């Protein structure tokens, strides 16, 4: 051993397993004449590099500058250790277990270009093979049981490698070195086509051919994908889309559409650079794009909005299906398939073959199945380009992004947060990271709650964490509240509660790693308030450095006649606001809902007078619903947000004059007089002013009212920053135009960038508040 030889140990944590990191280290070690070892452990990647000081220094530089495409380094430590004599090689050693804390599980990754070339080369042994992958692509999170990420800890453990695949798997110079899902037609999973009763109809490529033919004929297929099943049909066939909606019991909510490539996407919608980058990213989310006029898509794909959710194929099976589907279609035909979650409305996405056949046999005509088990249900992510920041804005965060952590402002103890009841997620913290689960959905049935508990167990297991507290919503009847209380009692840890809208603001602060006081504007549909009423349009003071928060103001309270019925039938809210403001009947002009709901509308005043099942709410979402119903745009809804979506769509964007929406300072907390806003809109409706003008003036009035109120409160309280959160921030108009109005008043604006502004962010806010609570004890 030469006297100038040194040996340096590196420990690298982050997303460094299952992404080709060890072969990358092997290659740069060879390039610099380095000997030593590299291994995966539950702490991260351990490297010992030995050579001349110059060679080791160059090796260390390449560790930073030449990372594999999917690698994400969170931390890196290095120290010099004694050199070893007689070491001749650099070797990759077997993975080690252990109780580590620093490994990041990779999210699932779309098929890479190298694998696509293999799949569509007729001379390649993986020609049209629907499970082709390498270290740069393929399933990760959805097939992983535990860490370190090795084949025996994935659902590929039951597929022994053939000699050719094993040679690739063991060759550090091959891009499939230690690609855990590596497979080929000889040794890997396969697909088959089944009828609704489970009878096998075809296998392998012929199964995909027959699926493509059935889709072209207007049939509905259940297709086993990466994180669960899709229900698919021809997106240009009105009869097929209508049939899918009827069977799935999803009458109006928009359906996602998969197209084979960017050219097909650009034929259907306006695709800006931001949308194009998202569509082609390795995460491959559903991206909301503005529809072009005259597209061949069936009108019922996206009936209430001028946007459509598009995505490109992200698994080899998708690519093979579209390849064969396009061969069947006429040359000029549009190859576009509805790809919606494989479930009945309100249920979790189907996971296994038997489960899908049991739950989806009344929806799908055929089932394209395979025998690679999905271990973790994960729906498609839904993203759009934020019109204000021009950055991605999540509407649903799941496949491709989960379990990527949100990095927090400093280290802290482990906390579990159980999240909300609707659009549920849960969260664990570890060190300076928060791991928010994939979108779980609405916890309104046992199936969804079972999915929730699956993820709670799995995330805690793979993260190897032990929570020191559990945080839940203030609502006493939420399943997440009872779950938290049960966990706390079982584990002997405290259960802490945080009000829904404060959690929204703590969440946007956590995402932005902001510490200090802010004025929070939380706008959504429903949240149980500290006073027992339903909050939803809140002006809040939040200081996460001191864990101090207070309700400063809110929208004018509205009645919800019939309780939950008013959410399904927003005409009740409209009539309630009119009644609160002295308009007890329609006068000469009948209200839009009178004919359809004649009897209920007639008795509603007595219901409100006696306050029978008529709670109060300050909900901003319900205000949108009321205006939409008052205009006759949407008097009853079939999915959340429908009335607001339809109201936003009809705006006359040439209008510039807002309706008045003053702040009332004669009450405490302060109140934004949204009744005055509503009644101004009603007065114009009585004068037969076009609905598009009224909608635009309403949107403008609300935004100007919020901005004026925020500016006044911020000045009084000497606050320079506003945090925006809540489901209403998914309204394109509000998210585009409210932040600039706030900035004009000298305020800095914080918005969500890594999580949805809706209830999917609640668990992060709960978790960050909870860990801060523990740290201050």
Q: At what angle do helices 691-717 and 732-743 cross, to 10 degrees?
A: 40
Q: How many CA atoms lie within 13 A of 401 on its CB side?
A: 26
Is there a catalytic annotation at residue 771? no
Could you tell me the two tokens for 776?
Answer: 């201050």
**Active-site option among 7, 8, 40, 731:** 40
User: Which pairing describes strands 670-672 and 548-555: parallel, antiparallel, or unpaired?
Assistant: parallel
CB 542 within 8 A of CB 504: no
Distance in angstroms (rounded) separating the CA atoms of residues 732 and 736 = 6
Q: What is the 3 state secondary structure string of 357-418?
A: HHHHCCCCCEEEEECCCCCCCCCCCEEEECCCCCCEEEEECCCCCCCCCEECCCCCCCCEEC
Length of the chain in residues, anyone? 777
Distance set, CA 737 to CA 331, 372, 622, 723, 765 (Å): 43, 47, 20, 15, 25
Q: How far apart are CA 9 and CA 476, in angstroms?
A: 52
Opening angle at CA 236, ends 232 and 242, nearest 5: 65
Buried b (16+ CB within 10 A) or exposed e, 529-562: beeeebbbbbbbbbebeeeebebbbbbbbbbbbb
Looking only at Cα atoms, what is the longest distance across the chain?
101
Q: What are phi and psi of 222, to 5 degrees?
A: -95, 120
Query: In the chain, how many H helices and how many E strands?
Result: 22, 32
Structure tokens of 236? Answer: 């240009």
- The β-bridge partners of 521 are 539, 724
Tell me how far apart the alpha carbons of residues 594 and 590 are, in angstroms, rounded to a whole number.
Answer: 7
C-alpha–C-alpha distance, residues 707 and 744, integer Å: 9
- Active-site residue flag, 22: yes
Cis peptide before 148 (omega within 30 of 0): yes
Tokens for 471, please give them: 């945080």
Q: How far is CA 367 from CA 193, 203, 210, 273, 335, in A?
A: 6, 12, 11, 36, 20
Residues 21 and 10: their CA atoms lie apart, in Å, by 13
Distance CA(766)–CA(777), nearest Å, equals 17
DSSP letters spanning 604-619: HHHHHHHTTT--EE--
Q: What are phi and psi of 73, to 5 degrees?
A: -85, 130
Q: In whole angstroms, how large is the CA radius of gyration of the chain?
A: 28
Do residues 47 and 27 make contact, with C-beta atoms less than 8 angstroms apart?
Answer: no
Strand-strand pairing, 534-543 and 517-528? antiparallel
Question: Among 398, 433, 461, 124, which residue's Cα sits nearest to residue 256?
Answer: 398
In b/e form, how buried is each residue of 28-48, taking b as 16+ CB within 10 angstroms? bbeebebbbbbbbbbbbbbbb
DSSP-assigned letter for residue 329: S
Structure tokens at 481: 């509240």
Can you give 181-196 as a three-state secondary structure string?
A: CCCCCCCCCCEEEEEC
Write down the catalytic residue from 8, 22, 140, 245.
Answer: 22
Q: Using DSSP, state whether 446 is helix, strand or coil.
A: helix
**Neighbour order of strands in the sheet with 427-430:** 406-407, 433-436, 427-430, 416-417, 470-473, 495-498
**Catalytic positions, written as ranges:** 22, 40
């Amino acid at each position: 051993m030469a006297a100038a030889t040194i040996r340096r140990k590196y420990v690298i944590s982050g997303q460094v397993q299952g992404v080709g990191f060890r072969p990358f280290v092997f290659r740069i070690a060879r390039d610099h004449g380095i000997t030593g070892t590299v291994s995966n452990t539950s702490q991260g990647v351990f490297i010992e590099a030995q050579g001349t000081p110059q060679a080791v220094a160059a090796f260390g530089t390449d560790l930073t500058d030449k990372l594999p495409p999917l690698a994400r380094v969170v931390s890196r430590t290095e120290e010099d250790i004694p050199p070893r004599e007689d070491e001749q090689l650099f070797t990759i050693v077997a993975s080690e277990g252990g109780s580590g804390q620093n490994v990041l599980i990779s999210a699932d990754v779309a098929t890479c270009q190298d694998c696509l070339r293999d799949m569509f080369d007729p001379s390649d042994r993986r020609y049209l093979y629907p499970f082709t992958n390498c270290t740069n692509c393929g399933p990760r999170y959805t097939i992983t049981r535990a860490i370190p990420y090795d084949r025996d800890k994935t659902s590929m453990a039951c597929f022994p490698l053939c000699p050719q695949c094993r040679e690739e798997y063991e060759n550090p110079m091959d891009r499939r070195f230690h690609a855990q899902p590596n497979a080929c037609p000889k040794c890997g999973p396969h697909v088959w086509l089944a009828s609704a009763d489970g009878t096998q109809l075809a296998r392998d490529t012929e199964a995909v051919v027959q699926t493509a033919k059935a889709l072209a004929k207007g049939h509905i297929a259940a297709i086993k994908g990466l994180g669960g099943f899709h229900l698919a049909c021809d997106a240009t066939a009105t009869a097929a889309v209508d049939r899918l909606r009827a069977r799935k019991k999803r009458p109006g909510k928009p359906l996602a559409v998969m197209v084979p490539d960017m050219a097909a996407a650009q034929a259907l919608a306006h695709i800006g650079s931001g949308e194009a980058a998202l569509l082609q990213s390795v995460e491959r989310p559903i991206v909301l794009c503005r529809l072009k006029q005259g597209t061949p898509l069936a009108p019922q794909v996206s009936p209430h909005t001028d946007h459509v959710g598009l995505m490109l194929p992200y698994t080899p099976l998708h690519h093979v299906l579209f390849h064969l589907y396009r061969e069947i279609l006429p040359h000029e035909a549009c190859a576009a398939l509805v790809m919606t979650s494989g479930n009945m409305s309100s249920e979790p996405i189907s996971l296994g073959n038997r489960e899908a056949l049991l739950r989806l046999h009344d929806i799908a005509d055929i089932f394209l199945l395979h025998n690679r088990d999905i271990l973790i249900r994960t729906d498609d992510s839904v993203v759009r380009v934020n019109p204000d920041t021009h950055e991605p804005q999540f509407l649903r965060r799941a496949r491709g992004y989960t379990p990527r952590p949100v990095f927090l402002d400093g280290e802290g103890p482990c906390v579990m947060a159980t999240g909300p009841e609707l659009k549920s997620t849960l969260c664990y913290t570890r060190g300076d990271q928060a791991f928010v689960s994939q979108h779980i959905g609405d916890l309104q049935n046992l199936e969804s709650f079972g999915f929730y508990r699956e993820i709670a167990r799995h995330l805690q297991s793979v993260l190897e964490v032990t929570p020191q507290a559990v945080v839940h919503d203030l609502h006493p009847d939420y399943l997440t509240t009872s779950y938290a209380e049960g966990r706390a009692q079982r584990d002997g840890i405290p259960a802490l509660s945080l009000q829904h809208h404060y959690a929204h603001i703590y969440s946007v602060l956590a995402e932005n790693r902001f510490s200090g006081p802010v004025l929070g504007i939380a706008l959504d549909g429903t949240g149980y308030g500290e006073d027992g009423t339903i909050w939803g349009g809140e002006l809040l003071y939040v200081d996460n450095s001191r864990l101090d928060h207070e309700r400063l103001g809110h929208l004018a309270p509205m009645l919800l006649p019939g309780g939950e019925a008013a959410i399904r039938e927003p005409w009740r809210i409209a009539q309630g606001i009119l009644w609160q403001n002295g308009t007890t009947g329609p006068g000469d002009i009948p209200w839009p809902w009178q004919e359809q709901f004649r009897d209920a509308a007639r008795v509603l005043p007595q219901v409100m007078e006696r306050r029978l099942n008529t709670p109060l709410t300050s909900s901003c979402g319900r205000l949108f619903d009321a205006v939409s119903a008052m205009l006759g745009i949407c008097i009853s809804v079939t999915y959340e947000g429908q009335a607001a979506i339809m109201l936003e769509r009809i705006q006359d964007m040439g209008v510039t004059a807002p309706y008045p929406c003053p702040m009332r300072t004669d009450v405490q907390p302060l109140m934004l007089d949204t009744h005055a806003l509503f009644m101004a809109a009603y007065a114009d409706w009585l004068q037969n002013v076009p609905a598009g003008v009224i909608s635009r003036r309403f949107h403008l009035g609300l935004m100007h009212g919020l901005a004026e109120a925020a500016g006044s409160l911020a000045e009084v309280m000497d606050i320079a920053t506003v945090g925006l959160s809540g489901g209403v921030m998914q309204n394109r108009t509000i998210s585009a135009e409210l932040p600039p109005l706030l900035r004009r008043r000298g305020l800095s604006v914080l918005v969500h960038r890594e999580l949805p502004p809706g209830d999917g962010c609640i668990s992060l806010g709960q978790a960050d508040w909870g860990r801060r609570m523990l740290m201050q004890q």
